[in-house]
Structure 1
Amino acid sequence: MRQLTNAGRLHCGIGPNSYRVRIFMAEKGIDLPRVEVDLMTGEHRRPDFLRLNSLGQIPVLELDDGSVITESIAICRYLDALEPEPPLFGAGPKERGLVEMWNRRAEIELFGTVGNIALHSHAMFANRLTQFPAFAETERAAAPRKWAWLEREMADGRPFLAGEHFSVADITAAVVSWLGDFFGVPVPPSLPRVEAWLERVRSRPSWSV
């Protein structure tokens, strides 16, 4: 892993969005100096961190000139511009469009569903928002249907979400499976295409960062 110099430092910690950025960097073969933010002790709500990100969320990329980039995909795009190979946002117009499409689909259909279950049912989020347990249960019932939708979408036999090449869309969707395992919303059994795709993603060295 090659340490990037003059590319800032990454404030990150436990959580799916920090995990997305770590996997992305591992796929690029790069790393950044890191500042671990302890969510369990509320470090993300302290004034010094809120000066970096007023939303109190990680990850945050603090650049050497004092600029700040938040949101995991925005950070990944910045890193992709610095290190274009491999092209995890796609190579060429068609592939870039497909990767963007599938990353958005993964975020809306999968990440959003499982994220809502966590936000509206787990005690760790009780002080962040008004929780609606009934909404969490509605989303819990919907989660298997979302994965079944992906199973149907991959019926053409492609190895990765956007086609033949691994991309940021695969990172987003696979991290949802990790999040679901943590919050008791696993990928349902008997989805052989999804299962094979997940195995391809989880067998990559970047998954264990």
Structure 2
Amino acid sequence: MIFFDCSTAPNPRRARMVLAEKGLTPEVREISIAKGEQLSAEFRAINPHGMVPALELDDGTLLTENLGIAAYVEALQPEPPLLGCDAREKGLVMMWNAIVEQQGGLPIAEALRNSHPAFENRAVPGPLDCPQIPALAERGRARAEAFFGLLEARLQQVPYLAGESFSFADITAFVFVDFARVIKMPVPQSHEATLNWQARIAARPSAAL
């Protein structure tokens, strides 16, 4: 396998953590978003969507979405399970992963891409040029703040998002919560359950990659 990574971006980090949790070490090729390498002709010949992560399988199949990569890796290496052990858990993992992506990851990205000078005319990932909309940055920050409240409420009830076990949903949330530093929004100090959860995941070897 060949893993197309970007060490500074959140979505490749999610896939990187999944691979590490499973003990898999594919060949890694770094694609620098800062240098625009994801939009180069060379990389778009591999992934026409111009985005990372991407995982090229031994038969040439290309997986370009985190859910696809996680599903493939889970089937390839079932232990330790990251997508749930039974029907109930599997549903909860997928549900919370979707909640985190839509109510956490998207607003944080919206706030960053619509305010940072590096993303001028690049407010949307991929090959399409889109102008920044400052109002979306403000909305993103407001939604991110609401997301932190949602996360705290859930983690006051259970140790991990899907229940008792660490899962892909926790990887997604941990990466996005950590990435919120780019919009200067750390976890509020009053959110003790979230801070405890964050520290437990940060102690895992995969979180250091």
Same fold by TM-score greater than 0.5: yes
Aligned partner of 1:12 in structure 2 is 5
Provide the C-alpha distance between the structure 2 equivalents of 1:183 and 1:141, rounded to a whole number of angstroms. Answer: 12
Q: Give secondary structure in 2 for the equivalent of 1:121.
A: coil
What is the alpha-carbon root mean square deviation over aligned residues?
Answer: 1.3
Structure 1 gap segments, 5+ residues each: 1-7
**3-state DSSP of counterpart to 2:81:** coil
Per the TM alignment, residue 17 of structure 1 is displaced from its structure 2 partner at its CA by 0.8
**Which residue does the alignment assign to 1:180?**
180
Matched ranges for 1:137-156 at <5 A: 137-156=138-157
Unaligned 5+ runs, structure 2: 123-129
Q: Secondary structure at the match of 1:35?
A: strand
SS in 1 for 2:156: helix
Report how many aligned residue pairs link the two structures.
201
Q: Secondary structure at the match of 1:146?
A: helix
Q: Stretches of 4+ moved more than 4 A in 1?
A: none
Q: Which moved more, 1:125-134 or 1:75-84?
A: 125-134
Moved more, 98-107 or 46-55: 46-55
Q: Distance in 2 between matches of 1:61 and 1:27?
A: 16
Note if contact 2:3-2:27 (Cα within 8 Å) is conserved in structure 1.
yes
Is 1:41 aligned to 2:13, yes or no?
Answer: no
1:205 and 2:205 aligned:
yes
8 A contact 2:52–2:64 mirrored in 1: yes
Amino acid at match of 1:148: G
Post-superposition offset of 1:124: 2.2
Distance 1:59 1:138 in 2: 27
Task: Give how far 1:174 is off.
Answer: 0.5
TM-score by length of 1: 0.91
Identity %: 39
Corresponding residue for 1:4? none
Deviation at 1:148, TM superposition (A): 1.0
Counterparts of 1:33 and 1:10, CA distance in 2: 6
Q: Distance in 1 between matches of 2:141 and 2:121?
A: 21
Match of 1:3 in 2: none
Amino acid in the other structure paired with 2:207: W
1:49-88 residue pairs with structure 2 within 5 A?
A: 49-88=43-82
1:134: which partner in 2? 135
Residues 99, 167 of structure 1: 8 Å contact kept: yes
Offset at residue 155 of structure 1 (A): 2.8
